Amino acid sequence: MRYLNYLKKGIFPAIFFFALLIHPMKVNAVEAPYTTLTQDKDGHYVNTQTGYIPFAVYDKFGEKSLKKPSDLFLSTDGKMYLADTGNHRILICDRKGNLINSIEEGLMGPTGIYVDEDGTLYAADPKAKMILVYSKDGNLIRQYETPVSPLFAPNSRYAPSKLVANLSGSVYALSEGNENGILTFGSHGDFYGYFGANNTNITFKEILRRIFFTEEMKNAFKSNVPSAAINLDIDRNGLIYTVTQGADYGGVKKFNMAGKNILPEGYDDNLVTDIAVGDIENIFTITNNGYIYEYSREHELLFLFGGKDDGKNRTGLFIAPAAIDVDEEGNLYVLDSETGSITVFEQTEYAKTVHTALNLFQEGYYIESREPWEEVLRRNSLFDYANRGIGKAYYRLEQYADSMEAARLGGDKIGYSDAFWEIRNTWLQQNVVKIFFVLLALVFLKKLIGRIKDKAPVLRSITKGIRYISNKKLVKELAFLKYMPKNPADAYYGIKKEGKVSIRSSTIVYLLYFVIYVINKYYSGFLFKTVEDGYYEIGTDMLQVFGVFALCMISNHLICSIRDGEGSAKNIYCAFAYCLMPYIFLKPVVIVLSHFLTYNESFIIAFMNFLIVTAIAILVVVMIKEIQSYTYRETFTCIFLTIFTMLLILAAGFIIFALIKQVMDFIVSIVKEGYYRGK
């Protein structure tokens, strides 16, 4: 009996403790150690319910540990493959971390792995400078060494780091230090060329450098080459996805068979390090600082969670995340290279509801997706993507008014346009006869008034009052706007020599422009509005509009004074105002039309805006020529110098602002230091 007590008190606890060390650790997380975010229709990050919670952590695989692992892959047969780079091997485990097999043959430091439907294993090993292919039993059957092909330049680097394969056995690989794109191999190792290269971003500074620098000066600078993709994945349809670090936009790409990116551009974390694609084509990325992003297949953000571990070893946070993958049930597996562990995240009920609705929505079952989307909104009213789905459902049900409302709440302008077109079409069909008779009545009324206006006392009084107001000096000056399109040269002569307008009337024109600008910005139709609903910044608008006017006039007056122009500061102030005539007359029409047109007629809005800009530009050219008595050559020289002067003034302003800010920061730091030392 004593012997049994001894065992209970000594050996059994020791065995239990040892078992904890070698067995994977399971985490029953009630609360995640992070906040989960999503994006609203305006692109702002907002809190949402937790979509994923850490479920388990695996840091032992049998008796083996990982050393600087680089990749993981979940095969369709329930296995988990790990690229144990530091130990020069690939481990094969089940989904609970139990070791099944280990492959070391031919490996020097594998960093990328992929397993096809038949269980064939592909490994990218940059140290060995080759791609190795293993059978389902782990036997080495092929090696893809440096391509010998005219398509592969002799000076190109071949160090395969990541790879995928399609159903036909073609292999797509990334090579360290090779910016030409994805290397493509046939099923027998034949090199087919490159695929899906990133574009080179050329800045304005680079353009100026290429124009003005000599070849020797150009060679002193670093070559402008595109950033190479850092990782890739393939979906069930055989489409390739890549991620590229250092790009805020376009860091995640989805290529079709022709090598064209078909993923809508959106904001991507520039520290992204891996990508995985789920069964419903939802896209997962993970960044170097531990953040996990989930997108729809249209690149709409669904969930953002995770983060950097601060040394407290909190489950769900990471030190150096290297890879991510997703299984058939939607669970996420994240590999941390620093700790050599794998964290498994399981979906919450909320995430499952989102994915159910998303899958139905993406497959075109809009009506069926309505109920789960409504459940999502009941749990989180800020999940705007759900409103888009509900809007599509209402559209299919021909409830167009409800569809418009939901589409607007979700920021779906295309859905809003389609629903509005249906409502407008129905209204026009029901009221076309009424519209015809109303127009006919207006024409008749106009002719009738023209005939009796001199006979009817009331109409005579109204006509007399209109004539009296029209003869007022200020009204005449404002009415001079109508003369601008008839003969601009003569109009500017009247402004300069005949005093047709005044500073007061010109100031009113500037104010009228600003009022129309504000109405256009904040009260245009939803489809053509460029700012989010409920957002106003009138003070900033005032500074921008009148600041640009002042900068233009000051710069132009400075240049014209130097170049012997005849116009005074008053002439320039008044003439510039009347150049805005096309905006004053046509923009209100555009604003009204924006409430009645859909995207099908958006070309009308675009044409009218183009007409306004073109007309203003022509009036400015004529104005400078007539006010300053220049030739056309002198006029365009003056315009170019005016623009250049404006840029110099802006640059000087930014420099002065930066210097003042530095001085203020210095003074504040001195004051703070004196305060703390005094304490």
- Residue 208 has a pLDDT of 60
Domain ranges for the chain: 479-661
Q: Does pLDDT of 195 surpass 90? A: no
Token pair recorded at residue 611: 């007409």
Q: Does pLDDT of 79 surpass 80? A: yes
- Residue 199 has a pLDDT of 76
- Residue 43 has a pLDDT of 84
> Residue with structure tokens 């000056």?
477
pTM score over 0.85:
no
> Residue with structure tokens 């809003």?
416
- Under the banding of pLDDT at 50, 70 and 90, the label for residue 160 is very high
> Residue with structure tokens 């130097």?
562
Cβ–Cβ contacts within 10 Å for residue 409, how many? 20
Per-residue pLDDT tens digits for 613-646: 999 999 999 999 999 999 999 999 999 999 999 9
Token pair recorded at residue 587: 């923009």
Token pair recorded at residue 272: 């992204």
What DSSP line would sit under 376-395, residue for residue?
A: HHHH-TT-HHHHHHHHHHHH
Look at phi and psi of residue 171 and say left if phi exceeds 0, alpha if psi is from -120 to 50, else beta. beta
For 101-157, what is the HEC assignment?
EEECCCCCCCCEEEECCCCCEEEEECCCCEEEEECCCCCEEEEECCCCCCCCCCCCC
**Measured distance CA(573)–CA(557) in Å, rounded:** 10
**3-state secondary structure (DSSP) of residue 318:** strand
Q: Which residues pair with 286 in a beta bridge?
A: 274, 292
Per-residue pLDDT tens digits for 197-207: 887 666 666 66
Whole-number Cα distances in Å, 100 to 90, 105, 113, 631: 11, 16, 17, 86
- Under the banding of pLDDT at 50, 70 and 90, the label for residue 678 is low
- Residue 665 has a pLDDT of 84
Q: Does pLDDT of 2 surpass 60? A: no
In this predicted structure, which of 32-41, 531-540, 669-678 has the lowest mean pLDDT? 669-678
Q: Which residues pair with 122 in a beta bridge?
A: 114, 133
**3-state secondary structure (DSSP) of residue 611:** helix
- Cα 264 to its chain centre, rounded Å, is 8
User: Greater confidence, 42 or 119?
Assistant: 119
Token pair recorded at residue 360: 């139905």
In this predicted structure, which of 175-189, 337-351, 453-467, 514-528 has the lowest mean pLDDT? 453-467
Q: Does pLDDT of 141 surpass 90? A: yes
